[in-house]
Structure 1
Amino acid sequence: MNWIRIALVGVVMALSGCASTNNTSGWVSPPMAVPLQASIQQEIQLSRLDQLLLRPDVDDITRAKMFYERGLINDSLGLRDLARVDFTQSLNLKPDQSDVFNILGVYYTQNTDFDGAYEALDSALELDPKNQFAERNLAIALYYGERYDQAYEIARKHYNDAPTDPYRAIWLYWIGLEVDPLVATEEFKVQYQKRTDDDFGWDLAGVILKETTEDEFFKKILTTTRNNVALAEKLTEGYFYLAKGYQHEGDYPSAIALYKLAMAGNVYEFVEHRYSFVELGKIYQSLRELQEQKIKEQQALEAKEAPVSDSSEKEVLKEEALAE
């Protein structure tokens, strides 16, 4: 699409929305929402929690809850180091918090500390076996840690618990591609055809499967979304899953551009924003390895050619000596 190529060469994107052409050539610029910023309500909440945490008469249980709430606000603002400190302090005061272990597990995954992620998410599920978010995030952590069989087993169970949830189907598909691509694709198509509602997640599934064109997908978002926050959230998800599709096809330039667009809305608390960093890291690592391989091949070729040149030079010298 034209707008992807435009994004790749660094065209400045309008923050007020998007523009489209009257022909079928695609978007003039990528559809965008105004990047989310801290609200006055969030700032007031942070100030209030800061003051309450200074009070000496607050008991540990209440203090743990306040650290958790402040951590969530910091997380939503992209202040993840501060949020992690708050979550850790909350756990120190009250260790039996499944939700806190869950979000820490996501942090560890984002930082590619997979052992830390497994431990945190296992703890979350031990404390609350019904924590569906922790179950999904464990499958995703195992997926990014390249433990695909374990990831697929958990993702399969997670999907079977609620087969009408499009996001469970989507992640089962991505993980399944690493186990059996043909089966994963066929199952995902069947799941999409059996959808029973208009959940936005099924719109994502449609564009992933190419049952819906990218133009149709974005036009639907822009014509049905009136709130900037909702627009930013939908675009974050849309760009992320489109990027994964391009990445799977080996189109790294388009994938890189789309992952950056997924992060452009500042929807920090969405896993699609968080995992865009992980995916970009994987792409850069793949490109680095490819470049290193090319260098090694070039060096091997030069080394192979060098003896031939030496031999030729010796023959010339030998012929000159005989001639004399």
Structure 2
Amino acid sequence: MKCQIIIALFLLSIQTISSYGLDEEDVIDSSKNDSFLCCCPDYANFSVWHAKWEVLCQDDAMTIRKARELYNKSRALMNSSKCQEALKLINQSLEFDPESSDAWNLKGAALACIYSFDEAISCYERSIGSDSSNPRPYSNMATSLMYQKRYDEALEFNKKATELLDKLGGVWWPW
């Protein structure tokens, strides 16, 4: 996310500089336009912006890799019915990537595994909010709602999961 923001800021800076009728050399050479640089000191050195952008992109890539690594480990633990251990790792994964639909869905599954259905439902809602095209949280939500004897709601979520699954060609996967 930071990488996307810095790219947008960088592009905005280029657009702003062009609107003043300046090019990169004019901006780097502060003697040509002190008033612009006074107002916009961050635009003064493109190489600094570029270096910051590269670092943030690398940080984002490492963050996403770490989140995915923790997610995969927690999924393996879930496959071994080690729900409490999986929950610890998935919480760590969400610290790195709080918008991961798959991670929120897996957290919901881990919570349902330990019979914390209200919390599981909240996680499925968060997962659906991040990616409403994924059938898994809908199906998992239906299961948790059935355990709470909320059958009408469960049926609606199950129907939605089936619709989405049909759009994907009927391919299904766990969690």
Please indicate, yes or no, whether the TM-score normalized by the shorter chain is above 0.5. yes
Q: How has the CA–CA distance of structure 1 residues 114 and 78 changed in structure 2, closer, same or farther, with 3 Å as cutoff?
A: closer
- Deviation track 1:195-243 (CA, whole Å, cap 9, x = no partner) reads xxxxxxxxxxxxxxxxxxxxxxxxxxxxxxxxxxxxxxxxxxxxxxxxx
Aligned residue number for residue 67 of structure 2: 64
Q: TM-score, normalised by structure 1?
A: 0.32
**CA distance, structure 2, for counterparts of residue 87 and residue 166 of structure 1:** 24
Alignment of 1:202-281 (within 5 A): none
- Matching residue's letter, 1:91: L
- Deviation track 1:279-307 (CA, whole Å, cap 9, x = no partner) reads xxxxxxxxxxxxxxxxxxxxxxxxxxxxx
**CA distance, structure 1, for counterparts of residue 81 and residue 116 of structure 2:** 19
- Matching residue's letter, 1:149: D
Aligned residue number for residue 156 of structure 2: 153
Instruction: Please state if 1:115 is matched with 2:118.
Output: yes
Q: CA deviation at 1:103?
A: 1.2
- Matching residue's letter, 1:123: R
Q: How has the CA–CA distance of structure 1 residues 114 and 154 changed in structure 2, closer, same or farther, with 3 Å as cutoff?
A: same
Q: How has the CA–CA distance of structure 1 residues 156 and 87 changed in structure 2, closer, same or farther, with 3 Å as cutoff?
A: same
Aligned residue number for residue 84 of structure 1: 87
Q: CA deviation at 1:73?
A: 2.5
Aligned residue number for residue 95 of structure 1: 98
Q: CA deviation at 1:90?
A: 0.6
- Matching residue's letter, 2:103: V
Q: CA deviation at 1:112?
A: 1.9
- Deviation track 1:136-157 (CA, whole Å, cap 9, x = no partner) reads 1111111111111111122223
What is the SS of the residue equivalent to 1:151? Answer: helix
- Matching residue's letter, 1:143: M
Q: How has the CA–CA distance of structure 1 residues 93 and 157 changed in structure 2, closer, same or farther, with 3 Å as cutoff?
A: closer
CA RMSD in angstroms, aligned pairs only:
2.7
Q: CA deviation at 1:270?
A: 5.8
- Matching residue's letter, 2:87: R
Q: TM-score, normalised by structure 2?
A: 0.56
Q: CA deviation at 1:72?
A: 2.1
Q: CA deviation at 1:135?
A: 1.0
- Matching residue's letter, 1:101: W
Higher helix share: 2
**CA distance, structure 1, for counterparts of residue 77 and residue 113 of structure 2:** 16
Q: CA deviation at 1:82?
A: 2.0
Stretches of structure 2 that go unaligned for 5 or more consecutive residues are 1-60
**Identity percentage of aligned residues:** 24
Q: How has the CA–CA distance of structure 1 residues 165 and 65 changed in structure 2, closer, same or farther, with 3 Å as cutoff?
A: closer
**CA distance, structure 2, for counterparts of residue 137 and residue 145 of structure 1:** 13
Q: CA deviation at 1:118?
A: 0.9
What is the SS of the residue equivalent to 2:162? Answer: helix
Aligned residue number for residue 127 of structure 2: 124
**CA distance, structure 1, for counterparts of residue 92 and residue 68 of structure 2:** 10
Q: How has the CA–CA distance of structure 1 residues 157 and 270 changed in structure 2, closer, same or farther, with 3 Å as cutoff?
A: closer
**CA distance, structure 1, for counterparts of residue 163 and residue 174 of structure 2:** 23
Q: How has the CA–CA distance of structure 1 residues 92 and 77 changed in structure 2, closer, same or farther, with 3 Å as cutoff?
A: same
For the pair shown, the structure with the greater C-alpha radius of gyration is 1
**CA distance, structure 2, for counterparts of residue 160 and residue 59 of structure 1:** 35
What is the SS of the residue equivalent to 1:59? Answer: helix
**CA distance, structure 2, for counterparts of residue 165 and residue 141 of structure 1:** 22
**CA distance, structure 2, for counterparts of residue 154 and residue 110 of structure 1:** 19
- Number of residue equivalences: 113
